[in-house]
Amino acid sequence: MDIDRIILGDNQFWGVNHASQDKGKETAKKFGNIEEVERMLLTALEHGVTGVMLSTHDRIYEITDMMRKDKRLKKEMAIYVNLPYIIKYIRMASEAGIVQSLKNTLGGQGVAGSMRFALRSARGVVTGDYLSLANRLIDIEMSPFHGLNVRAVFLHNALTDLALGYGMGTVLRNFYDYVESAYGAIPAFGTLNLVALDEFLSDIAMPKTLIMTAVNKNGFLMNPSKARCEETIANTGHTILAMGTLASGTLAPDEAYQYLGSLPRLQHVVVGVSTQQHAAETFKAVRKHLG
């Protein structure tokens, strides 16, 4: 599959750190300055990393606007979209209620090109077709990335695993088909239940695609077990993108990627870095052990 070997993660841009809230606050403050985000993206390019994962956070327009203005980033950096940014919708629902939040989102408030989105979703609004409404939401989430090189679009692991839990194969297949046809990008899925998702996608005859899941030496977030996930990674026909590779900062890069390099067929990682030193150490370790 034509994807980058190393993809820069984006948790540091939003201040997400699963091991330490204080560290998360520090990175959120640092990358609240858009110039620091640009500097980190350019640092990644200097290290030969030409892909970045970006979630549809409230600040995403600020970042994508910056990338469109920077000729090098616009030309050389591929984007791997992870949608939706779940926390955003949880916050909206808690403040305005679920129904009003859905109305506000479908209304396309603050979204460029709302007429195009409205036309795409009109049929779903009239008929109550929930898959058309889902596609409308995809359009809204994708709007910040116009004019940029979108390589793949991931359905967030929370929604993938929700669909998995309820056996909603139609929803996953609709996502796959719509992303492929409407955006010409690789349809991809995040999950924290790799073994179950791999089996389910086989059951519904889903084409081979890209799956992002936790893979690390500590077994952090690897469900139902580290051993079962390792077995699936070795045998699946899907391409695996390893996330959580440093186990929320509890593993040193060399140790972390030595383990990943021991796993058959694992060749792709997404990892966030917050300093130039961290970037140099991390990217060097990935290349040393994963080729």
Q: How do residues 199-225 score in pLDDT, each as one tens digit? A: 999 999 999 999 999 999 999 999 999
How confident is the model at residue 265, as a pLDDT? Answer: 93
Decide: 52 and 7 in contact? Cβ < 8 Å.
yes
CA distance 55 to 64: 11
The two tokens of residue 165 are 């839990």
Exposure of 238 in the CB half-sphere (CA atoms within 13 A):
27
State the residue for tokens 């073994």. 195
Question: Residue 165 above 80 pLDDT?
Answer: yes
CA distance 221 to 226: 9
Query: Residue 181: which residues within 8 A CB-CB, separation 6 or more?
Result: none
Neighbours of 46 (CB within 10 A): 12
The two tokens of residue 246 are 């440093």
251 located within any domain: yes
Question: Residue 16 above 60 pLDDT?
Answer: yes
CA distance 144 to 120: 17
How confident is the model at residue 103, as a pLDDT? Answer: 53
Q: Between helices 34-46 and 60-69, what is the axis angle to 10°? A: 60
14 located within any domain: yes
213 located within any domain: yes
State the residue for tokens 């058309």. 132
The two tokens of residue 21 are 């809230």
Which of 3-7, 29-33, 161-165, 228-232 has the lowest average pLDDT? 29-33
pLDDT band, residue 281 (cuts 50/70/90): very high
CATH (domain of 134) = 3.20.20.100
CA distances from 12 to 20, 23, 152, 180, 194 (A): 12, 9, 20, 29, 24
Query: Residue 184: which residues within 8 A CB-CB, separation 6 or more?
Result: none
CA distances from 68 to 71, 85, 111 (A): 7, 21, 17
How confident is the model at residue 154, as a pLDDT? Answer: 98
Question: Residue 104 above 60 pLDDT?
Answer: no
1 located within any domain: no
CA distance 167 to 153: 21
Phi-psi region of 150 (alpha: psi -120 to 50; beta: other; left: phi over 0): beta
The two tokens of residue 224 are 């139902």
Question: Residue 185 above 70 pLDDT?
Answer: yes
151 located within any domain: yes
- Nearest Cα neighbor of 141 from 66, 88, 188 is 88
State what percent of residues in the chain have pLDDT above 70. Answer: 82
How confident is the model at residue 161, as a pLDDT? Answer: 96
Mean pLDDT of the residues in the chain? 87
What digits encode the pLDDT tens for the residues 54-102? 999 889 999 999 999 999 999 999 999 999 866 665 555 555 554 454 5
54 located within any domain: yes
Q: How many domains would you assign to the chain?
A: 1
Decide: 61 and 30 in contact? Cβ < 8 Å.
no
State what percent of residues in the chain have pLDDT above 90. Answer: 70
Q: Which domain holds residue 285?
A: 6-290
Question: Residue 114 above 50 pLDDT?
Answer: no
pLDDT band, residue 126 (cuts 50/70/90): very low
CA distance 67 to 214: 28
261 located within any domain: yes
What is the model's pTM? 0.87
How confident is the model at residue 178, as a pLDDT? Answer: 97
Query: Residue 280: which residues within 8 A CB-CB, separation 6 or more?
Result: 47
CA distance 140 to 174: 16
152 located within any domain: yes
